[in-house]
Structure 1
């Protein structure tokens, strides 16, 4: 009956069965049959039918007054959903750091997104080098750490926790460092995007340590594997070494100093934002807030 009431409201807009049939793309006989069935179910006539068009009976006017706002509200919602469904289709060029995004894929981070939005194609343009966004076309970019003034719209969606780690065998050889100066005697593995190891003391003072690297790479797996193998200490995002810490393959150092967190930022050009890009931004923001 609800479908027939919705049809009744639409007929009232056109004030004619013929016009309604034409506008709705329905046979006139179907419209007449459904209105007759609705009147039968309600036990009351809805229209006075004459050559001058349709006129509502008292019952018809009462039903139109009661139902029209709700019908139009539902139609508005359905139209919005249909528009969003069309906006979902298309591609997004997403620029981001290879190591970080690869770890997210390894953790099946994006599975829910691709399941919910199968018509969105994300073109992942990844690099371990921090490219100049002003010199390339993109829809969305991720940047870790401090940002240069780029002129893009920016949203900070999380913070990465860092740790200073070493293997048990390296500590057994060199002893446990007591302070930042004590790191000088250790071989060091530098994950090259992070040249400056930043800490906060127990007194909330900012401390920087500039390591001289014995091994430098922008590949996170190489840095983690060499650290586990005992070739040096390393300053890394905790997400990359959490399992090794849990199993005892790596130990955290200098608990009196807290490695400073690095911001996770999303950037996009200052122009109207497509719905498909907005849903990816929201997905990243909501999920990273729970996982990092």
Structure 2
């Protein structure tokens, strides 16, 4: 009779290429992962991994064994999913990541409300502007902004965001308002981590090089600089909309405003879309619109 012991651990190590990452994914210890994989190797009388101090590599026989084990593990996950979806309320831990500012300003409040609505859910929310490896680091879900470049992920658009170029009335009174993209080179442009701003010119996307005295990777800091008249800024609506409504900031270059950019929920293709994740994505989509 087949023995499942060690198979989940083996598959996790292959997919994460790390005993530590596999332990994090399965919420267990590295020692337990190592013990179960060693026991599996002893039972099969083969070497499944080549271990060095720097990395873990699957052997040829290990890769073959993985191809057979993976569908079995997915089948077991599907069986568990079928049971989970019969439950009245989603349960379990959700590990997700999102950009810092959007997470602090928008997402965190929604997630807290979600936890109140589903008291059997546990949340591990990591706010970072770095793009995490969802598979290797064991994330169930990521919220990403703008254009997507990772085709290995499944994605669902939650809403659209608008990018605005704006400045304070005091800055415009002193330096004048730009009316063409070429005029930006004469202005102080408050830029973040990129040297280019994106515009749309007669249906064509254009990337315009910008420069200025201030560079910062914080949207809040750039808004403050714009409010104080230090320059022109390009930021998403959730940074500047309140100040545009009060007149503390004024939109410029409106004819060149680009298309809306998406805010997306991403999850790995090789993860089952469990009831808790599906419920969360549905909740975010409704709450954000």
Output the TM-score relative to the length of structure 2: 0.65
**Distance in structure 2 (CA, Å) of the matches to 1:132 and 1:178:** 41
Q: Please, which of 71, 85, 88 is the counterpart of residue 85 of structure 1?
A: 88
Give the unaligned 5+ runs of structure 1: 1-78
Match of 1:158 in 2: 159
The Cα shift of 1:155 comes to: 1.6
The answer to whether 1:104 aligns with 2:113 is: no
Q: Deviation digits for residues 58-96 of structure 1, max 9, x if unmatched?
A: xxxxxxxxxxxxxxxxxxxxx98993336x221100111
1:200–1:95 distance in 2 versus 1, CA, 3 Å: same
User: Residue 168 of structure 2 contacts residue 250 of structure 2 at CA under 8 Å; is this kept in 1?
Assistant: yes
SS in 2 for 1:206: strand
Shift of 1:208: 2.0
1:119 and 2:120 are equivalent in the alignment: yes
Number of residue pairs matched by the alignment = 207
CA-to-aligned-CA distance 1:40-61 (integer Å, 9 cap, x gap):
xxxxxxxxxxxxxxxxxxxxxx
2:228 is the alignment partner of 1:229:
yes
Describe the SS at the equivalent of 1:95. Answer: strand
The alignment yields a C-alpha RMSD, in angstroms, of 2.3
Is 1:166–1:233's contact at 8 Å kept on the other side of the alignment?
yes
1:287 matched residue in structure 2: 287
Partner of 2:245: 246
Aligned residue runs from structure 1 range 197-276, under 5 A: 197-201=197-201, 203-269=202-268, 270-276=270-276
Deviation at 1:272, TM superposition (A): 1.7
Cα distance between partner residues in 1 of 2:238 and 2:86: 38
Post-superposition offset of 1:125: 0.7
In structure 2, what is the Cα distance between the partners aligned to 1:225 and 1:131? 29
Q: Radius of gyration: which is bigger?
A: 1
- Would you identify which runs of 4 or more consecutive aligned residues in structure 1 move more than 4 Å? 79-82
- Contact 2:158–2:285, Cα closer than 8 Å, also in 1: yes
Matches within 5 A, 1:9-48: none
Q: Give CA-to-partner distance per residue, 1:167-196, whole Å, 9 cap, x none.
A: 11111111011201111111111132x543
CA offsets 1:17-47 (integer angstroms, 9 cap, x no match): xxxxxxxxxxxxxxxxxxxxxxxxxxxxxxx
Residues 178-197 of structure 1 aligned to structure 2 (within 5 Å): 178-192=179-193, 195-197=195-197
Partner SS for 1:129: coil
The 10-residue stretch of structure 1 (134-143 or 244-253) with the greater mean CA deviation from structure 2: 134-143
Query: Structure 1 CA distance, aligned partners of 2:136 and 2:195?
Result: 24
| Cα distance per residue 1:192-215 (max 9 Å; x no partner) | 2x54311223x3232221212432
Name the counterpart of 2:65. Answer: none
Any idea what SS the aligned residue of 2:254 has? coil
- Normalising by structure 1, report the TM-score: 0.65
Q: What is the DSSP-based 3-state SS (H/G/I as helix, E as strand, rest coil) of the residue aligned with 1:215?
A: coil
